[in-house]
């Protein structure tokens, strides 16, 4: 009897699976805490510091791995989507890099803007926290490196599509609160968050469509994609747990001093 295990057992991929994962992250208690008007600037510094500096460290290498493994598997549309994401991250338009379009530049503007505001408010401890690392957050880039090491285009792309959708939802949640809490931030200094909230759905769709087509009803491929999505969601959840715990501990130190 012919073995059809690889072509049966799981339904095709749906965007709803990825949207559900992003919605669960959007409802995380720490992101909801940031929405509260009376939340301490300690919480904001704990979030913004690593989010703008250390956590994006493996992003480009991660998407390069998606591109390279997709090419090797002759998943050309998926490879093109990954390359478009990399070019966007690097500010490359029509083959030329524009420094003002680099996401690293946008993050620097956000970092400098929030630091200046905290300094003007006399929030010295909060200002220090923008540069204070949380070793427990290393798990985020370690997870991306683990995906890279698998050299599996389906697992990588499942995590990549999930990450794009999750970042969109995350920034859509915190952006209005960020604008209200740091109302002095300029449009330029908000650009990093605005652009991701508004445009990461496009990156998600560009990855999802060729990925879903390549998987079809192949059970093994679907399992790999869903494992990638599951793992990146859990990792994002863990990083927010770390930030929430760090915020609580930092507040206890300040209130107890």
pLDDT digits (tens, 9 = 90+) for 160-217: 999 999 999 999 999 999 999 999 999 999 999 999 998 889 999 999 999 999 999 9
Q: Are 109 and 192 in contact (CB under 8 A)?
A: yes
pLDDT at residue number 177: 97
CA distances from 112 to 5, 14, 45, 53, 255 (A): 54, 40, 12, 11, 27
**6 pLDDT above the threshold of 60:** no
Question: For the domain 14-256, what is the CATH superfamily, name and number?
Answer: Heme oxygenase-like (1.20.910.10)
pLDDT at residue number 257: 54
**154 pLDDT above the threshold of 70:** yes
Average pLDDT of the segment spanning 127-143: 95
pLDDT at residue number 4: 39
Q: Tell me the H-state helices in 74-218.
A: 76-90, 103-120, 124-129, 138-150, 153-181, 187-215
**At 8, is the pLDDT very low, low, confident or very high (cuts 50, 70, 90)?**
low
What is the Cα 5 distance to its own chain's centre? 34
- pLDDT digit string (tens) for 37-65? 999 999 999 999 999 999 999 999 999 99
Element (H, E) at 93: strand 92-93
pLDDT at residue number 22: 98
Average pLDDT of the segment spanning 143-161: 98
Average pLDDT of the segment spanning 24-38: 97
pLDDT at residue number 254: 75
pTM, entire model: 0.93
Boundaries of every domain in the chain: 14-256
SS3 96: strand
Phi, psi of 240 (to 5 degrees): -70, -35
């Amino acid at each position: 009897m012919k073995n059809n295990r690889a072509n049966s057992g799981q339904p095709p991929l749906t965007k709803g699976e990825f949207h559900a994962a992003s919605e669960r992250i959007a409802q995380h208690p720490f992101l909801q805490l940031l929405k509260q008007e009376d939340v301490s600037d300690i919480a904001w510094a704990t979030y913004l510091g690593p989010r703008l500096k250390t956590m994006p460290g493996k992003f480009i290498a991660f998407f390069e791995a998606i591109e390279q493994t997709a090419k090797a598997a002759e998943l050309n549309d998926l490879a093109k989507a990954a390359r478009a994401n990399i070019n966007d991250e690097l500010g490359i338009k029509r083959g030329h890099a524009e420094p003002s379009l680099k996401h690293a530049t946008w993050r620097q503007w956000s970092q400098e803007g929030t630091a200046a505001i905290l300094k003007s408010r006399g929030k010295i401890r909060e200002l220090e926290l923008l540069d204070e690392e949380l070793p427990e957050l290393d798990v985020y880039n370690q997870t991306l490196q683990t995906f890279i090491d698998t050299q599996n285009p389906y697992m990588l792309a499942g995590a990549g599509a999930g990450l794009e959708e999750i970042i969109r939802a995350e920034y859509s949640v915190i952006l209005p609160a960020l604008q209200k809490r740091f109302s002095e931030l300029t449009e330029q200094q908000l650009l990093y968050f605005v652009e991701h909230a508004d445009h990461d759905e496009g990156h998600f769709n560009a990855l999802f469509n060729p990925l879903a087509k390549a998987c079809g009803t192949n059970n093994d491929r679907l399992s790999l994609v869903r494992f990638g999505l599951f793992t990146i969601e859990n990792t994002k959840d863990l990083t927010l747990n770390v930030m929430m715990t760090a915020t609580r501990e930092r507040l206890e130190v300040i209130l107890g001093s």
